[in-house]
Structure 1
Amino acid sequence: MYEIGNRLEALRDVPGRDPFGFRREILLQALSYEDARLLLPDWVDARLFDHQRWGWRRDPEVYARSYLWSAVHDILTHRRRWASRSVDQLTELAWLFGHDDVVAAMDAAPYPIHGAPKIAAFADGLGWPLEIIGDANRRRFARMAAGQPCDPNGCRYGCQD
């Protein structure tokens, strides 16, 4: 509990580190309602908090595996807006799982191509195979994780950004 509190403080103390609260959202789910209640809005009661915790999965690892699949899907479909959320939340999940090495690898990986290199670092670091359906999508994600556009002939959706 104290480690999570310290991490929440650290996020608050670094401007721009968690501008939308995505990291904070994951860390709060790792706390009990009693430990989190002072950090929650008044309208969130214990029942709502427990119901929303880790989604319907009730387990942080199951949640993380599902979220990883969703992140890969968002990258492959060029959903830029969700990419930063995925990177932030998977970083905090790696930290919660005690994998500082994975957090360091994610921090060291470049961000381009919707965060694909960072998401790949998460999956590789935890030894979780990426569930990508279809050879073409596997090749596209591998290119994106290497910092290249999804299509060797150029991408019309802007994955060069």
Structure 2
Amino acid sequence: MTIRTQEEIVTRVWALRANREDIFGFREEVLVEALDLDHARQVITPRHPGEWTRRIDHETYARDYLRFAIGKILDHRGNSASRSVDKLGELAWLLGRDDIAATMDNAGFPMYGAPKVKAFADGFGWPFLDDLDGDTRAALTRMAEGQQCDPQGCERGCAD
């Protein structure tokens, strides 16, 4: 998998800021962790220089974060799920998959972003439903289709 160049990442951070597309900084967080120290200094000023670390293996991080995002969807965590969708979209861009980022942008956000997260997993050919029991698998499948987790009604917050 090809990661974006350091210059492309810096340019994207500045564009996100200029367009106010990332008001909470979730997307920027993904990008800054992909920068080496010289490029990171162009967009941040660490309070304590020793605190900044660079993430090297973005694919493993994306796979792990996908599992985390699925957990947030299943737990009906609206804000956390929204943050996860933003981060996954930025990871798709970072890994050079504009097609996946565009598919995610075009997917709806019902059911805690499940359709967007499924688009991410499908785009990379990564598991979306593996390791889930039958009921959980069925719930996530319904949510990814924009439906309530439980066809009989959800007590945790699903809404059409």
TM-score, normalised via structure 2 length: 0.90
Corresponding residue for residue 92 of structure 2: 94
Residue 14 of structure 1 and its aligned partner are, at CA, apart by 1.8
Is the Cα–Cα contact under 8 Å of residues 107 and 119 in structure 2 kept in the other structure? yes
What's 1:65 paired with? 63
Q: For the structure 1 residues 42 and 110, does the alpha-carbon distance in structure 2 shift closer, same or farther, using more than 3 Å as the test?
A: same
1:72-116 Cα deviation digits (max 9, x unpaired): 011001111201110010001001111110001000000111000
Aligned to 1:48: 51
Structure 1 consecutive aligned stretches of length 4 or more whose deviation exceeds 3 Å: none
Distance 1:44 1:64 in 2: 27
Q: Distance in 1 between matches of 2:25 and 2:63?
A: 21
Match of 2:112, SS state, is coil
Cα distance per residue 1:43-82 (max 9 Å; x no partner): 131x3212xx44xxx5111111111001001100111120
Percent identical across equivalent pairs?
49
Name whichever of 129-138 and 106-115 sits farther off. Answer: 129-138
* Distance in 2 between residues matched to 1:49 and 1:13, nearest whole Å: 23
What is the CA distance between 1:132 and its match in structure 2? 4.0
Partner residue, 2:156: 157
- The match for 2:3 is none
Counterpart of 1:5 (choices 3, 10, 35) is 10
Name the SS of the counterpart of 1:114 in structure 2.
Answer: helix
User: How far apart, in 2, do the equivalents of 1:124 and 1:42 lie?
Assistant: 36
Alpha-carbon distance change, 132 to 14 in structure 1, aligned in 2, over 3 angstroms:
farther
CA contact (8 A) 2:115 2:144 kept: yes
- Which structure 2 segments of 5+ residues have no match? 1-5
- Segments of structure 1 that go 5 or more residues without pairing to the other structure are none
Q: Is the 8 A contact 2:30 2:87 kept in 1?
A: yes
The two structures have a TM-score, normalised by structure 1, of 0.90
Q: Which residue of 1 aligns with 2:77?
A: 79
Residue pair 2:9, 2:31 contacting (<8 A) in 1 also: yes
Amino acid at match of 1:12: R
